Structure 1
Amino acid sequence: MKLFGSYTSPFVRHCRIVLAQQQRQFEFVSTDYTQSAQQSPAMRVPFFSDNDLKLHDSSSILRYLRNSAGQSFCATPEQFDLYCMVNTALDTTVNLFLLERDGITAADVSYLQRQQSRVEAILSELNQITWPETEVENDAHLRLACFLSWAQFRERLDVQQWPQLQGFLAAMNQQAWFANTHPALT
């Protein structure tokens, strides 16, 4: 098994956590933008190989890992919807971050303002949920923890605006299995 990605990617982090929790042996191949554009049709990380199987998105990788270990990936429609909502906010935030690095900001483009509003609306909705304090129950929760941690690391949002989410992230940061994969530890 090979997982290609960067240590700072929240999508890659989610896969690394699941692999570690399952105690799977795998090779991590550090991959940058140029390499991902050459080696994956999705032109992004993570991508994954296991013998002849090649996967190009974190969600398909997670589903494969969970299913091959006899675990469920987003077992209910509600869990999957939550996962998709978090994933939308994460993907949008990453895109806004990358555009800003290229000098394009939400203040410059009305479409990007709508995207920023989308992230804030999702976070406000997620803030209405009572989150677990000690265990991540499913991949939707784990994806949220990876998103919030990355967003703080990259200074993309101030979690204090959403106290339920702030408490959830603080609780996750106390879990060694989560804290040991923080992007700052690369």
Structure 2
Amino acid sequence: MKLFGSYTSPFVRHCRIVLARNEQKFELVPTDYAQSAQNSPAKRVPFFTHNGLKLHDSSSILRYLRNLADQGFCEDIEDFDLYCLVNTALDTTINLFLLDRDGVAIEEIGYLQRQHSRVIAILDELNDRDWPEADPENDAHLRLACFLSWAQFRERLDIHQWPNLQNFLASVNQQPWFANTHPALS
């Protein structure tokens, strides 16, 4: 198994957590933007190969890995909806981060302001929920934890605005299976 990506990517981190927790041997192949543009039609990380199979999105990779381990992937419709909601916020936040890094003034473009507003609305919605301790078998929880951790690492969000999400992240940060994959450790 080869997982292509970067240590800082929250999508790659989610895959690394599942691989490690399932004790599946794999090689993480460090991959930058130029390499992902050449090697994946999605032009992003992660992408994955195993026994001739090539997958191009973290969600398909996760589903494949869960199937290999006889585990479910977002089998409950509410968990799947949560996964999709978090994924929307994560993908939008990453796009805004990359635009900001390229010098685009997000606050000057109406469309980008709406995208930022989308992220805030999703986080407000998620903060209104009661959060149990993160379940390492629940991909919606893992996606949320990877998103919040990445957003703090990249200084994209002040998580103090959302105390329930802050508590959720503090709880999952205590778990070695999560803490040991933090991008700052790479």
Q: TM-score, normalised by structure 2?
A: 0.98
Report SS of the residue matched to 2:75.
coil
Tell me if structure 1 keeps the 8 A contact 2:135–2:141: no
| 1:168 equivalenced with 2:133 (yes/no) | no
- Deviation at residue 32 of structure 1 after TM alignment: 0.4
The equivalent of 1:118 in structure 2 is 118
Aligned to 1:28: 28
Q: Secondary structure at the match of 2:49?
A: strand
CA offset at residue 137 of structure 1? 5.0
Structure 1 distance, partners of 2:81, 2:17, is 21
- Map Cα deviations across residues 106-145 of structure 1 (whole Å, 9 max, x no partner): 2121000000000000000000111122534510000000
Instruction: Provide the residue aligned with 1:145 in structure 2.
Output: 145
Percent identity over the alignment?
A: 75
**Normalised by the size of structure 1, how large is the TM-score?**
0.98
Distance in 2 of aligned mates of 1:11 and 1:105: 25
Question: Kindly tell me: are residues 67 and 143 of structure 1, through their superposed partners in 2, closer, same or farther at Cα, counting changes over 3 Å?
Answer: same
Q: Which stretch shows the higher mean deviation, 96-105 or 144-153?
A: 96-105
**Cα pair 1:42 1:56 within 8 Å, conserved:** yes
> Are 1:105 and 2:102 counterparts?
no
Q: Distance in 2 between matches of 1:146 and 1:135?
A: 13
Cα deviation code 1:21-73 (max 9, x no counterpart): 00000011000000000000000000000011000000000000001211000
The residue identity in structure 1 corresponding to 2:86 is V
Task: Give distance in 2, aligned partners of 1:134 and 1:66.
Answer: 17
Q: Segments of 4+ in structure 1 off by > 3 A?
A: 134-137
SS at match of 2:108: coil
Aligned mates of 1:9, 1:81 — CA distance in 2: 22
Given that residues 134 and 142 in structure 2 are in contact (C-alpha distance below 8 angstroms), is that contact kept between their aligned partners in structure 1?
Answer: no
CA distance in 2, matches of 1:68, 1:137: 14
The residue aligned with 1:59 is 59
* Cα contact 2:135–2:142 (8 A) shared by 1: no
Separation in structure 2 between the aligned mates of residue 158 and residue 142 of structure 1, nearest angstrom: 20
Equivalenced residue count is 186
Q: Which residue of 2 aligns with 1:127?
A: 127
The unaligned stretches of length 5 or more in structure 2 are: none
Stretches of structure 1 lacking an aligned partner (at least 5 in a row): none
Q: Which whole-Å CA distance do the structure 2 matches of 1:137 and 1:42 have between them? A: 27
**Alignment RMSD (CA, Å):** 0.9
1:69 aligns with 2:69: yes
Alpha-carbon distance in 2 for matches of 1:40, 1:33: 10
